[in-house]
Amino acid sequence: MTNRQPRDHSFLVQPDTAKSQPASIELPNEASNVDGKRWTSMSVKEERDMAEMLELQPVDNRDNMHPEADELVELRVEKDSRTNDGEDNSNCCPTCQSMHKFLAEWMLPDKESHGKYLERANCLPPPIFIIIISIVELGVFIYYAIWKPQKQWITLENGVWDSPFIYRPDLRQEAWRFVSYMLVHAGVQHILNNVIVQLVLGMALELVHKGHRIAIVYLSGVIAGSLGSSIFDPEIALVGASGGVYALIGGYFTNVIVNFDQMKPLFRAFRIAFILVMVISDVSLAIYRRYIIKDLAEKVSFVAHIAGGLAGLSMGYVVFSSFDKELLKDPRFWMCIAVYIACALVAVAYNLWLSPAN
């Protein structure tokens, strides 16, 4: 009779202590394989979909289906944090990632905004609005400079004064002139200043905020410029896109001031200095042309700079500070629209009944 060893049945029952002890899980690194896939090849969207699928699984089945579920969740959080720091952007081509990171630093105030922008940033659509506006303005300038018989290259002459685009106090009944004056400029320096500034600042803003928002701010500054000039400089003509340009500057400047403490010291100092130098030099030139130079054929108002800047300080701030929200659902946007319309109605009433140019 042989001696049998007692059969070990311990494998049939898992001790309760195994459940009570916290599992020590080593997070997978960038080279780890989970479910046969390399995580470095998965996009943010694919990881998000996988994480959502795991969340929908019952607790009892989740570990059976995906033993590495905890690692997946941890890896998703870790990659999100890298995205928020601007180190990952799967929605954009690799060649554009550095550009978008730079734009996030310059155009948005805080780390949270940087992460939201970088996660959805892409190169499409390109900044079409500001490019088209600049091309049209350059085209109109070249037309009056070359094909019209006058010396538009240096200063405003009769050819531009007779243009159907210029705002003239004696032709205020032609309402399109309150907008079309932005297409005509008073000389080479005038057109270059406006086009360079609106391309440098406007293209960067449009990549972040998209074209329809830039169009709202830009055109609100243009209309505010002509209406303001019709009240405070009522007998002077108006040309140039300075109203729209200063609306972009005003909106950007307000965001810099409001979020001053959240920005890097070097960036915020350079931004403030850049804006101040640009504004002071341009306004000084406009005042010089308006009051000091005596040999201009016609005087041109500079009030559009101020009125456009004020429009940007209000409308631009609201639009640029809510880049990740729908404008139609932002009550501040409707408040600005209401105030803007009220001011426009006051200006229209002034032009109809009180203007000395009547």
| Dihedral sign (CA 227, 229, 233, 239) | negative
Distance from chain centroid for Cα 30? 34
Helices 94-107 and 188-209, interaxial angle, to 10°? Answer: 110
Structure tokens at 88: 């990952």
Q: Say if residue 148 is exposed, middle or buried (CB neighbours under 10 Å; 0-12, 13-18, 19+).
A: middle
Report the C-alpha dihedral over residues 242, 244, 250, 252, rounded to 10 degrees. -120
Helix, strand, coil content of the chain in percent (nearest 5):
70, 0, 30
Q: Which residues are registered as beta bridge partners of 237? A: 300
Instruction: Determine if the peptide bond prior to 58 is cis (ω within 30°).
Output: no
In the residue annotation, 284 being an active-site residue is answered as: no
Gyration radius from the chain CA atoms: 30
Q: Which amino acid is at 143?
A: Y
Q: Is 242 a catalytic residue?
A: yes
Which of the following is catalytic: 180, 220, 230, 242?
A: 242
Nearest to 237 by CA among 162, 307, 295, 176: 162
Q: What residue type is 254 in one-letter code?
A: T
Residue 306: enclosing H or E segment and its boundaries?
helix 303-311
In terms of Cβ atoms closer than 10 Å to its own Cβ (0-12, 13-18, 19+), residue 70 is middle
Which residues are 37's β-sheet partners? 34
Q: How far apart are the first and last CA of the chain?
A: 129
State the DSSP code for 38.
E
C-alpha atoms less than 13 angstroms from C-alpha of 156 in its C-beta half-sphere = 26
Per annotation, catalytic residue among 114, 190, 209, 305: 305
Burial of 58: CB neighbours in 10 Å, binned 0-12, 13-18, 19+: exposed
Which sequence positions are flagged as catalytic?
242, 305
